[in-house]
Amino acid sequence: MNTLLSLNVHAPFAAPSSFSFYDHSLHLEEEDGHDHREDALAADNVTIKKRKSCLLLENDNNKKRKCGPVVNNDSIVRMKWFITGEMYGLDMKLVIQKVLYESDMKKDQNRLNMPIKQLATKPHEFLTDDEIRMVDKDGIEVRVVGSMMQMYAKPLRLKKWPMKKTDNYVLKTNWNNFLADNEGLKKDVMIQVWAFRKDRQLCFAIVPVERTDAVNDAA
């Protein structure tokens, strides 16, 4: 059964040259609180404010991963224009840029992991107080736009998973189906997760981006 819900997207797509977006840079905190660095990203002749980035210790084998600058390419511009121009979505915020790791792809886990320490936007900046309380308890249903530039027909659930070293937000329930029905979401592929509002309801967009180098990683 086709699980993609068409939103009457017109092709070919072309975003106006005057349409511009603000990009957030990643703000990660190292678990031991040391070794902070500052990055600067210039995209489309816009100077992005410097924010701290760092090395993050990987939990499973203690190997260091280094995050890279936030990607702003044609895929991201098309996604932003689809949400704001076609869906009339509002208040877009970058939640996280990360690589899809093996744990994100395992069918028995059926979730996308987003460590709260690695979020590009603080939770209270894309969630209301009521939503934060709901996410902390049973979670909330959310609609998600995928790589096919369509709103996925099956809702996912945003939930907080507390862990020993770090708390995580996860997108679960139908995550396996979402992976199967959206091209480009594969192991080791970098993605961006964006939050936005459609008719005041919390929604997300997940889009793969071209990998710029071998160390553009977020766990």
Judge whether residue 31 has pLDDT over 60.
Answer: no
pLDDT band at 137 (very low <50, low <70, confident <90, very high): very high
* Rounded Cα–Cα distance for residues 158 and 119 (Å): 14
Q: Where are the beta strands (DSSP E) in 83-199?
A: 90-99, 111-115, 140-145, 151-152, 156-161, 168-172, 190-198
Q: Cα separation of 16 and 81, whole Å?
A: 9
Question: How confident is the model over 161-196, as pLDDT tens digits?
Answer: 988 788 999 999 999 999 999 989 999 999 999 999
pTM for the model: 0.68
Residue 9, pLDDT above cutoff 70: no
- C-alpha distances (whole Å) from 2 to each of 18, 45, 79, 153, 177 are 36, 41, 21, 9, 11
Nearest to 192 by CA among 206, 173, 171, 204: 206
Q: Which domains does the chain have, with CATH numbers?
A: 68-209 (2.40.330.10)
pLDDT at 112: 98
CA 29 – CA 136 distance, rounded (Å): 21
37-95, pLDDT tens digit by residue?
Answer: 333 333 333 333 333 333 333 343 334 344 578 998 899 999 999 999 999 999 999 99
Alpha-carbon dihedral 2, 81, 24, 217, rounded to 10 degrees: 40
Tokens read off for 43: 């995209």
